[in-house]
Amino acid sequence: MLNKLLIGASLIGFMTPVFANTDHAKTLLQNNCIGCHQADIYKRANRKVTSLTGLSTAVENCNTQLATGWFPEDVDAVVQYLNQTYYKFKKQ
pLDDT of residue 13: 47
Distance between CA atoms of residues 53 and 69, nearest Å = 21
3-state secondary structure of 72: helix
Q: Spelled out in words, what is the top-level CATH class assigned to the domain 18-87? A: mainly alpha
- Calculate the alpha carbon distances from 4 to 9, 30, 34, 58, 59 in Å: 9, 38, 42, 40, 37
The predicted-structure confidence for 16-55, as pLDDT tens digits, reads as follows 445 458 899 999 999 988 888 887 888 888 888 999 999 9
Q: Where are the domains of the chain?
A: 18-87
The Cα–Cα gap between 21 and 32 comes to: 16
What is the pLDDT, as a whole number, of residue 39? Answer: 78
pLDDT in tens, 56-83: 999 999 999 999 999 999 999 999 999 9
- pTM, full prediction: 0.75
